[in-house]
Chains A and B, each alone.
Chain A
């Protein structure tokens, strides 16, 4: 068979990203770096997983690989040829499925072949073959809305695989599905790959699930955020099918959690934006996490917590980061351990929690300090939120700046460090919060 010779030959470099950089100009001047000089090769015969916190530019990088987005700087080579438009050798599976709702399953799958001017009889046969392969036979004439989420994503896979791409790109393909459906589809995909039932030579999957990456990938690239750089490359050298409960599997998951939570020092040490990015975690989630860890004796395994809470990485990591930022916890090689302050917070009453949160916030979160100080210097102790948004927009994309302001306001309101009036759009310093309380000294914190 042709397929086996392809696999037996030494791996060739299919995609070669060299110094890929993506930056956006801010309207008010300055640039926001999304990807910073990424070098990455994708070789035949491998499944590559890209992991990273949300907003780390992993989806942007996938769009670069697809040729949907041109890098600001650097080049992308597909089979040694620089790419200047949609990549001819890829197909893509989307998180949102991206099916044409007005076409039937069969038509959705045929579209890509028609665009390649495959003769119509061939077209029909290949589409039916792909539908069969992915386990959707019987649904050819159904419209996407008649299918379940899992069924729709199967159409997504059939449509991508039918054109027999060199490289299959997947943007969080399973994250919109429930756990069982996702597992089912993931297993089917891996079966196609291992059984060489598709001539596709490499797969790239962007995911926020560490377990998913360790389960299917031959190579895992971990992105750090702001701007995205590769912070680790891990090769789980385990044969398929991997046992999720084996010691090696769990060790790998732990290792990656360690990389993702331990990157903070390095990120802070880098010459970065003046205003550090706050993790987008709601107060309830941060408090819940601290209390849960406290109940478990002050130290907990992050993968276990994630399973217990049914959280994926995008929910859990910001909360861990926030707890770390506020000095309530420290991440330790895939575990999280509460500090003295963390234990105090967990044991405190509702009102005491607010005070502890405020002290932590004002003494440790730079953006909150900035806001409190700025407000304190104003005559009416109030400023429009827009003013702070403008400042944030100099450091972040406008979308991220909005998110940052929103989380700042939520934290600030909870802690009663400052309040926000929805109708006027003004932030103002709580009058009773004065001097020593607003900017507490260390001794203050120990007293409560």
Chain B
């Protein structure tokens, strides 16, 4: 996310910076008018990547076999891992499909709208 924001900030056109300086945009106004909108698309891309990674990690960590002991909480990740270990293939298939559906729905209903706003309104 940090790298995305840095990339966004360095893509700022020179003339907009000069314009902001001449208009005497300072402090919060400078952030509000110039920087935040300009880095918004990069912020969104960074957030999507970060969210995906975080969800991945949390699913994997729901079911851990460590030193002969099995640590687990209730959740989709534990369900999938448990089903794999027990060889319960119908349950494995069902839970995997549910996981895929959640990802698709999240992208369709959540991120896609934010992305579109980023592209349409905040595109430089």
Contacts and interface: CB of A to CB of B under 8 A. Distances in A.
A101 interface: yes
Nearest to A91: B22
Tell me what chain B mostly uses at the interface: helix, strand, loop, or mixed: helix
Contact of B23 (A63, A95, A112): A112
A100 B22 contact: no
Given A86-B21, A91-B22, A102-B122, 7 more contacts: A92-B22, A94-B18, A98-B13, A98-B15, A101-B124, A115-B24, A159-B23
Contacts of A283: none
25 contacts: A66-B22, A86-B21, A86-B22, A87-B22, A88-B24, A92-B18, A92-B19, A92-B22, A94-B18, A94-B19, A96-B13, A98-B15, A98-B16, A100-B33, A100-B34, A100-B37, A101-B121, A101-B124, A102-B37, A111-B25, A114-B29, A115-B23, A115-B24, A115-B25, A143-B121
B123 interface: yes
Interface in B28-75: 29, 33-34, 37
Contact of A116 (B18, B21, B24, B124): B24
Interface string A104-146: 0000000110111000000000000000000000000001000
Nearest to B36: A102
A68 B18 contact: yes
B26 interface: yes
A375 interface: no
Interface of B: 13, 15-16, 18-19, 21-26, 29, 33-34, 37, 121-124
Contact of A103 (B18, B33, B123): B33
A87 B29 CA distance: 19
A101 to B, nearest CB: 6
- Closest 8 pairs between A and B when the two form their complex, measured CB to CB: A98-B15, A102-B37, A98-B19, A112-B23, A115-B24, A94-B15, A86-B21, A96-B15
